[in-house]
Amino acid sequence: MKASDVYDLLTQEYTLVMATTPSDFEIVKKIREEVYAFKYGKPLEFLESIGLLFDKDDKQSFIYLLQHKATQEYIGTVRAFFMNKNTPSKKLPLQQTVTDQRVFSYLVNLPIIEISRGALYRKILPHHTYTDLQLRTMLTYGLMVATRLNMFLYPPKRVFSIMEPSLHRILKRQNVNFEPISDPVDSYGTLRIPYAIERTKLLKETEENMGQITRHYLKKLCENPEPFWEFIDNNPYLERSDIELERICKLFKEHGEDVDLSLLLGEEDALSPS
């Protein structure tokens, strides 16, 4: 699967949207309902009661949607839960199921994020070129790109996730090299493993496959930043000074769309040549 194919699919046929309004959050909930009701074989009332469809952690998160442009249908979602010195919750969502004390040693330097609640509709419009498996794999990359955007806009020290080994294998094919930080645990009846990775390591290793798509969406955000800033201003745990968007937009103006990764990361995170 060529990087150019993934780029065309995820920018021309599908688009990434940040959820910022109550109606957006209802769409997020609807996608989770469709995916999780089938996955876990439980009624929606039960999923609602345990917070799987929408919970307090969603209010402490950046949430993204994946939309099919031609039909305007939203078919996927993912969230980046964040912890900083202002957030009321100082526990990652994965700590609801992971009790291994080794995990706590990774949670010292804030801010940090956890990628979670990834959901992709089971039935997606067939593609004229790609098989269902190929399409779903590429759309999974799209959700990963959404969280990659977040790592530029609100830079964490470290990134966490708890996922099934099968998803980990899919991501590793695109150089998303999370490392396990604890033993496998049962999470909602599914075997999952807690993972972590340093932000700069993840961004450097995924640059070849995801860099161009990331720049596309960062530049798009620079062209229409008002809804994003409104979301930041309405979030009690974030300040405009926490966000790197203005600096990134300035870099696009100065260097064009091919601005170097080290510049996007910021001077303190500048990556030395390979």
Distance from the first to the final alpha carbon of the chain: 25
Q: What would the mean pLDDT of 80-99 be, rounded to a whole number?
A: 93
The rounded distance, in Å, linking the Cα atoms of 214 and 224 is 16
Residue 270 resides in a domain: no
| pLDDT (0 to 100) of residue 272 | 42
Residue 221 resides in a domain: no
156 vs 123, which has greater pLDDT? 156
User: Are the beta carbons of 75 and 66 closer than 8 angstroms?
Assistant: yes
Q: How many domains does the chain have?
A: 1
Residue 15 resides in a domain: yes
Residue 215 resides in a domain: no
Residue 234 predicted with pLDDT over 70: yes
| pLDDT (0 to 100) of residue 247 | 97
The rounded distance, in Å, linking the Cα atoms of 82 and 79 is 9
Is residue 1 very low, low, confident or very high in pLDDT (cuts 50, 70, 90)?
Answer: low
Is residue 105 very low, low, confident or very high in pLDDT (cuts 50, 70, 90)?
Answer: confident
User: Are the beta carbons of 232 and 243 closer than 8 angstroms?
Assistant: yes
| pLDDT (0 to 100) of residue 267 | 56
Is residue 215 very low, low, confident or very high in pLDDT (cuts 50, 70, 90)?
Answer: very high
Residue 149 resides in a domain: yes
Nearest Cα to Cα of residue 103 among 196, 198, 184, 201: 196
| pLDDT (0 to 100) of residue 4 | 84
Q: Where are the alpha helices (DSSP H) in the chain?
A: 3-8, 22-40, 44-49, 132-153, 165-172, 199-205, 207-223, 226-234, 245-255, 261-265
Q: What would the mean pLDDT of 86-105 be, rounded to a whole number?
A: 90
166: exposed, middle or buried (Cβ count in 10 Å: 0-12, 13-18, 19+): exposed
Distance, C-alpha 43 to centroid of its chain: 27
State which H helix or E strand residue 159 sits in: strand 158-163
User: Are the beta carbons of 79 and 30 closer than 8 angstroms?
Assistant: no
Residue 194 predicted with pLDDT over 90: yes
| pLDDT (0 to 100) of residue 174 | 86
108 vs 241, which has greater pLDDT? 241
| pLDDT (0 to 100) of residue 228 | 96
Cβ-Cβ contacts under 8 Å for 20 (sequence gap 6 or more): 227, 228, 230, 231
Residue 273 predicted with pLDDT over 50: no
Structural domain for 59, as ranges:
3-209
Instruction: Supply the mean pLDDT for the chain.
Output: 92
pTM: 0.92
| pLDDT (0 to 100) of residue 190 | 86
Residue 140 resides in a domain: yes
Kindly report the CATH number assigned to the domain that includes residue 199: 3.40.630.30
| pLDDT (0 to 100) of residue 173 | 87
Residue 218 resides in a domain: no
- Crossing angle of helices 245-255 and 207-223, rounded to 10°: 100
Question: In the block, which residue shows the tokens 């609807």?
Answer: 30
